[in-house]
Amino acid sequence: MNKYVMITGATSGIGKASAQLFAENGLNLILTGRREKALSDLKCELQRKDGIDIFPLCFDIRESEKCRSAIENIVHEGIVPELLINNAGGAKGLAPIHEGSLEHWETMIDTNIKGLLYISRFISAEMVKRGGGHIINVCSTAGHETYPNGNVYCATKHAVDALTKSMRLDLYRHGIKVSQVSPAHVEETEFALNRFDGDSEKAKIYEDFNPLKASDVARAIFFIYSQPAHVNIQDILLMGTQQAGSNFIDRSGRKYD
């Protein structure tokens, strides 16, 4: 099969779990990330196991010209992904608005909004030329509700939700589906560690309940992708059984281990 899936932020968490699942199903992959060794290791793992084509692209999606150059390179090779998974993103800090770090804010805005825009701009243009494609954005329950001290992160994920809807209106006449998946707490990712600037003690936020796993979200993404051509699942909102909302978590123990 000559089908390619492009996954941003593929070296860990939801991105990596998605790469593994799509590889198991025989899809060729274009994997992006900032860590060259992690990309190389993932390429070796997936190619050895599944014998598929893997194109690792090491760059920072916050830099528009690097996004443009990376995409021009794959297009030059005759490759346009039929599916783009805009997964790269994350949270930095957990502080009230009057104490927030400007550096944290800029990182979230540059990655979660601008990075998604840069990649989508260049890939969607190629999809329009080809007359079809599918874009799946990784949003969050934080794109549908807010919580204390989540101010800017929630704002960026609300932007992802709005962009998903707007992109769909721009692209549906070109045969391009636009969808998103909106998970709540997810373990097997670097989300908490990044949010707390590498503080592993503060990052221990999943010890008293069962959140989602990265593989759960990957399966939801694959489910969206695997629908017939006439079906577009616009959003999947998912949480662990012990979570009913951002501020409603049963922390009485991990009941499903």
What amino acid positions are annotated as catalytic residues? 153
Cα–Cα distance for residue pair 83/2, rounded to 1 Å: 12
Q: CB burial class (10 A; 0-12, 13-18, 19+) of residue 235? A: middle
109-112-113-119 Cα dihedral, nearest 10 degrees:
130
Helix, strand or coil for residue 124?
A: helix
Per the CB < 8 A criterion, the answer to whether 112 and 62 are in contact is no
User: What stretches of 34-115 show up as alpha helix (H) in DSSP?
Assistant: 36-50, 64-76, 102-108
Strand 212-213 relative to strand 186-187, pairing: parallel
Cα–Cα distance for residue pair 17/253, rounded to 1 Å: 25
